[in-house]
Amino acid sequence: MGRVVHFEITADDPKRAAKFYSELFDWKMNDSGMPNMDYTLVTTGDEKDMGIDGAIMPRTYRQQPVINTIAVDDLKDILEKVKAAGGESVGDVQDIPGIGKFSYIKDTEGNLVGLLQPLPRQGK
């Protein structure tokens, strides 16, 4: 795979940022329902059109302004390759219900990147 499939925008005031992007681009905002976390899911357009969706979250969670998430076939395998390539794993692997397995890494420049091993899509 290796495609960017999700973005995260960090903000000092996530509600203000959500309002900004909603008004500017007509993005749709939905609460993620994740416990103990201010994480707003962003739908940027119709799923039949080109593009990706993402989220807005507090900057206190991650300091980097934008975080891209890349889909991978085998998260465990990629995490092993990260260290060999000069990067590092950040945090634990998370199971996201209905989505898949997720983890952050840092590249050789210290940039955060999300990795997602998605669950198989229905009907595929």
How many alpha carbons lie under 13 Å from residue 95 in its C-beta half-sphere?
2
Q: Domain for residue 11, yes or no?
A: yes
Mean pLDDT of 19-27: 84
- Measured distance CA(20)–CA(68) in Å, rounded: 20
Number of domains in the chain: 1
Residue 55 lies in a domain: yes
Q: Look up the CATH number of the domain holding residue 17.
A: 3.10.180.10
% the chain with pLDDT above 70: 96
Query: CA-to-CA distance for 1 and 123, rounded, in angstroms?
Result: 18
pTM, to two decimals? 0.68
Residue 66 included in any domain: yes
The answer as to whether 112 is a domain residue is yes
Phi-psi map region of 33: left, alpha, beta (phi>0 left; psi -120 to 50 alpha): left
Would 15 be classed as within a structural domain?
Answer: yes
Determine, yes or no, domain membership for 124. Answer: no
Q: pLDDT digits over 45-72, tens only?
A: 888 887 899 999 888 876 777 888 998 8
Q: Give the DSSP H/E element, type plus range, for residue 57.
A: strand 53-58
Residue 20 lies in a domain: yes
Q: Which domain covers residue 9, as residue numbers?
A: 4-118
Residue at 123 is within a domain = no
